[in-house]
Structure 1
Amino acid sequence: MRHLPLLAFSTLLFLIQPAAAQRPTDLWYFGRQAGLSFANGAPTPLLNGAMTTYEGCAVATTRRGELLFYTDGQTVWNRLHQPMPGGRHLMGSGSSTQSALIVPDPGSGNIFYVFTVAAQGAPDGLRYSVVDMTRANSLGDVPRANLLLLSPVAEKLAAVRHANGRDVWVLAHRWRSNAFVAYLVTAEGVQAAQPILSNVGSMNAGPGGNAIGALKFSPDGRQVGTALWRDNNKFEVYDFDRATGKVSNPRGFGPYQEAYGVEFSPDGSKLYGTCNGNSAGAISRAGASETQLIQIDLKTKKAETVGRSSNHKIGALQRGPDGKIYVAREDNSFLGVIENPNAAGPACGYVDDGLNLGGRRSKLGLPGFITEP
C-alpha cells in the first residue's frame, strides 16, 4: 500500500506532461532536399534530407512518428539519410506525379511495401518493392524490388484503409483505359493476383503527358478525386467502397487546363485542385497569372478560383496534420498554404508565400500518405 502514492504521483506526472507523441504523417521530405516536421503542431523546416525529386515521394515512420525511411520511387533513404542496400534502382520516376507510396504490412511492424508508378505511361508500370526494417542493423534493406503488378499505368497512386480497419487498398489507374485498379494489402502480403477493376469515368490515354495528374482519397475514404492533365483538362470525383475496392459514380468539373494536384478539405466537403493553364507561359494574354487554385463544393457543385500564384508552376496539394492544405510551388523556397480549407470560396484563405522552407526549395511534389478514416 505504501507504493500507491508513488504510483499515483508517477501517473499524474505522465498525464500532465506536454504531449510529445508524433503522428505517422508528421514528417515530410520532398523537393530539393526540403522537409517539414509537424511534431510540435506548427510545421518547421527540416534541413537534413538527402532527396532531390521533381515530383512524387513518400515517407515512412513508426506509429509514434519517428523516421524510418523515405523515397522518390527510385532510391530509398534510411533514417540516417543514406541509401538502403538494394534500395537504389526502384523503377518509379522522379518525374511521375505520384511516383511512390509506402504501405506497412498489416501483419508486421517491420515490413513495408513501396509502390511505384512510372512516368507518362511508360512500360515499367506499377510495381512494388519490399523493405525489411530488421536488416542492416535495423536501418532497413530492400531484399525484393520491382515486382510487377500492372503495365502500363497513369501517374496516379493512392491508398486508403479497408473497411475492416486493418488491410489497405492501393488504387492506381490503367493507362489507355478507363479502369481504376485496386490491390488489397493484407497480413499475407500484396494480393497481386486479385485486383479489383472498375471501368468508369474518363479514359486515361493519348500522348504520354496525359498520364500526368494526382489521385487522392477523401478523409472518410468514401470519395476519390483525380486530376486529368492534357487533353482532358479537368477534375473528377468518384465514390469509393472501402469494403469492395470498387470505384463508381463519376462527376466531372472543367475545363481546367493542365489540371495537376488534388486534395480534399478535412471535412470532405470541398475538393481543391491546381492547374497551370498553358505552362509554356505563366502569364495569360490578359496579363493574369494562369496558375490557379480551384475549389469545388461537392454539395452545391460550385467550382471557383480561390487563389492564384506568382509562381510559374504549382503542383501537388497535401493536407497536413494541422488541417491546413499545402501547395507545392516549383523551385520556390515557400509553399502555398490554404489556411481554412473547410471554408467556402476565398474565405478558405490561400496564402501564396505561406510557409518558409528554411532555404530549401519545393518542386512539384509533396509526400503522399495512406488515408486513415
Structure 2
Amino acid sequence: MKKLIYVCLLLIGFSINSYAQKETSWWYFGYNAGLNFNILNDATADDATTVTNMPEPIVGPLSTREGCFTVSTYDGQLLFSSDGSTVYDKNGDIMTNGTGLLGNFSATQSGIVIPRPGSTTEYYVVTVPAVGGTDGLNYSTIDITMSGGLGAVTSKNNIIKSGSVYENIAAVPNSNGKDYWLLHRTLQTFYVWAVTATGIATTPAFTITNSLINTVRYPGEIVVSSDFLKIASFNHSGGQVISAIFNPATGQISNVQVLETGLITYGGTFSPNNKYLYVGVLENTGDLYNITWDNLRAGNSMTYLGKGFVNVKVGLNKRLYGVEVSVNSPETPTKNLSVVMNPDEGGTNIKYFTNYLKNEAAFGLPAFAAGFIRIIPKEQPFACTAHDRTYSVEVDLSGGNAPARLEWYFGDGTARVNQTVTTSQSEYSQKHSYNNSGLYTITVTPYKADGTSLTPITMEANIVDCSLKANRMTRSDLLNSKQLAE
C-alpha cells in the first residue's frame, strides 16, 4: 500500500513594519518599563475617548535611559532582551555568560539582534558604545537552546569596527533571502558590513561619505524602511535629517542628501506604507514631526504634529508609540505614553495616556532588525503503510521577502511540484505518495516573482512499514524513528 503524507511548512519572512509576525511583540525599555503586544485591551485616553487594541503595560528587566533591544519568536514568545551591556533571558534573569557586552545604556541605539543566517536557534547581538567610548562596534553570539532553553552567550565582543564610533545601528535583509546587511554611520561616513552564517565581516562591503553631514558629538538613530530601500539618519546636535537610497541586493548606499532642520532630531521611523518619515525631537516634552519621503528628498520643511515623542517606533498594530518626557526637563522620565493612530495618513490623530506605563521611561525605545528571514518546519513528517497522516501548512506572506511560489521536491525521484503563493491564502499543503519505505528528504524552495530563489528548507519524511501489534496499546511503530532514537 502506498504511504500518504501531508507536508508541513511554516514560512516566515519578517519585517519590523510588516506587522503580521510577532518578533516585535515584547518591548522592554526605560527604567523597568515595557509593553506586550500579545495582549491588547481597551484604554481611556486623556481626551476621555476609548481606544481599542492597546498593548498591555508590563514590568521589564532593563534599567536604561536610552539604548535597549528585545527579540521574540515568530509567534510572540519572548526570547531575550538587553541594554547593550547585559543580556536578560525570557524570565528576566541575567543570561548565562550574559554580562560584559560592550554596548551602553546611554547609547541612542545600544545594540540590535540579527538571526544568524542558516540557523533557527542562534542570534548575533551587535553592540554600540556611548559616544566618546573607544570600544567600537562588536558582536556576540547567543544560542537560545542552551541553559535549558533560556539561552547563553557563546562568544562575546567580536570586533567589527574598532575605535570611536557613533551611537547608531541598523540591520537589513540581503535580497538573497538568507543573509543580512549591517548599517552604521560615524561622522560623515556610512558603513555597510555583510552578515552571514560565518559571522560579521570586519571589512566593510561598502562605504560612502558626504561632506554636508555635521560631525557632531551627539548623533541620533539610523532607521530603514520596511521595503529596505530607504534610509534615514538623524543628527541630534547637528539638527539634520540625512536620507539615502539603499540597495539590499548589493549593500550599496547612494544619493545621500541632508535636510537642515534646526531641531534636535533624535529618533524616528517610517510609516507602515513608507510614505512618511516621523521624527522625534528632543525639545520641550518631546516634539513629533513628519515629512513625506518625496518632500524630504526635495529639501522641504518638516510638519509639526504634536508633543510627547522624543523617540517613536511602530507597533504590531501599525500605530506609532512614544514616551512623553517631563515638561520641566526633556531628560526627566515619565509613565506617559503617546500614540499616533493613523501614521499612514499623516499622523493627525494622536492620543495621550497619562501614567499608562508601569514604570518610568525616557527616550530609548527598542531597536529591531528591519527584517527576519526564517523558513522553519513545524514537524518532522511521518507516515506508515496503514496510517495516513495530515500536516497543516501555514505560509506567512507579510515579510519583505515573501515568495511568489513554492517548489516542492519529495526526495524520491518524482517530478518537482510548483505551488503558486497568493496574498489571499495562508494555508498550503501538498499530498504525496511514497511507493517504498525509507527516510526521504523533502525540500521546499521559495521563489520570488523575479525568479530569485530564497533559502530552501529541508525536512525528513520517515516512511516505514508499520506492523500491527497484538497488544492494541503498543504504539511504538507509529513514532518517528528519530523520536525513538531520542
**Code of the aligned partner of 2:171:** A
- Alignment of 1:316 with 2:311, yes or no, is yes
Structure of higher CA gyration radius? 2
Aligned match of 2:201 in 188, 191, 207? 191
Partners of 1:120 and 1:337 in 2: CA distance? 30
Equivalent residue number for residue 244 of structure 1? 250
1:22 shift after superposition: 5.8
Equivalent residue number for residue 334 of structure 1? 336
- Alignment of 1:145 with 2:156, yes or no, is yes
Q: Deviations over 1:280-318 (max 9, x none)?
A: xx3xxxxxx7x4211111224443333332x6xx43211
Aligned length: 331
| SS of equivalent residue, structure 1 residue 74 | coil
1:355 shift after superposition: 7.5
Structure-to-structure mapping, 1:271-282, within 5 angstroms: 271-277=277-283, 282=284
**Code of the aligned partner of 1:337:** V
**Code of the aligned partner of 2:180:** V
**Code of the aligned partner of 1:251:** Q
Partners of 2:126 and 2:342 in 1: CA distance? 32
- Judge conservation of contact 1:38–1:321 (CA < 8 Å) in 2: yes
Q: Deviations over 1:51-94 (max 9, x none)?
A: 11111111121222211100010110001110012111111110
1:135 shift after superposition: 1.8
Partners of 2:98 and 2:226 in 1: CA distance? 31
Equivalent residue number for residue 87 of structure 2? 76
- Alignment identity in percent? 30
Equivalent residue number for residue 389 of structure 2? none
- Judge conservation of contact 2:34–2:358 (CA < 8 Å) in 1: no
Equivalent residue number for residue 179 of structure 1? 189
Aligned match of 2:221 in 193, 214, 223? 214
| SS of equivalent residue, structure 1 residue 137 | helix
Partners of 2:61 and 2:183 in 1: CA distance? 28
In structure 1, runs of 5+ residues without a counterpart are 1-6, 8-20, 283-288
**Code of the aligned partner of 2:368:** F
**Code of the aligned partner of 2:177:** G
Partners of 1:90 and 1:358 in 2: CA distance? 28
Question: Which range is displaced more, 53-62 or 187-196?
Answer: 187-196
Structure-to-structure mapping, 1:15-26, within 5 angstroms: 23-26=22-25
Q: Deviations over 1:184-222 (max 9, x none)?
A: 21222222345421223644634x3x3x30110011110
Aligned match of 2:174 in 140, 162, 178? 162
Structure-to-structure mapping, 1:10-159, within 5 angstroms: 23-40=22-39, 42-150=53-161, 151-159=163-171
In structure 2, runs of 5+ residues without a counterpart are 1-5, 7-19, 41-52, 326-332, 372-399, 401-486
Cα 1:258–1:300, aligned 2, differ >3 Å: closer, same or farther?
closer
| SS of equivalent residue, structure 1 residue 342 | helix
Q: Deviations over 1:248-303 (max 9, x none)?
A: 112322323211012111111111111134xxxx3xxxxxx7x4211111224443
Partners of 1:121 and 1:328 in 2: CA distance? 26
Q: Deviations over 1:89-136 (max 9, x none)?
A: 111110000001011112111111111111114201211111122221
- Judge conservation of contact 1:71–1:77 (CA < 8 Å) in 2: yes
- Judge conservation of contact 2:160–2:201 (CA < 8 Å) in 1: no
RMSD of Structure 2 on Structure 1 (CA) = 2.2
1:164 shift after superposition: 1.6
- Judge conservation of contact 1:154–1:204 (CA < 8 Å) in 2: no
Structure-to-structure mapping, 1:282-301, within 5 angstroms: 282=284, 291-301=286-296
1:360 shift after superposition: 1.6
**Code of the aligned partner of 2:98:** G
Cα 1:47–1:320, aligned 2, differ >3 Å: closer, same or farther?
closer
| SS of equivalent residue, structure 2 residue 242 | strand
Cα 1:105–1:363, aligned 2, differ >3 Å: closer, same or farther?
same
**Code of the aligned partner of 1:32:** Y
- Alignment of 1:304 with 2:302, yes or no, is yes
1:144 shift after superposition: 1.4
Partners of 1:170 and 1:335 in 2: CA distance? 30
- Judge conservation of contact 2:176–2:249 (CA < 8 Å) in 1: yes
Question: Which range is displaced more, 36-45 or 268-277?
Answer: 36-45
- Judge conservation of contact 1:328–1:362 (CA < 8 Å) in 2: yes
Q: TM-score, normalised by structure 2?
A: 0.64
Cα 1:355–1:40, aligned 2, differ >3 Å: closer, same or farther?
farther
Higher relative contact order (CA 8 A, sep 6+): 2
Partners of 1:51 and 1:184 in 2: CA distance? 29
Question: Which range is displaced more, 251-260 or 72-81?
Answer: 251-260
Equivalent residue number for residue 260 of structure 1? 266
**Code of the aligned partner of 1:153:** V
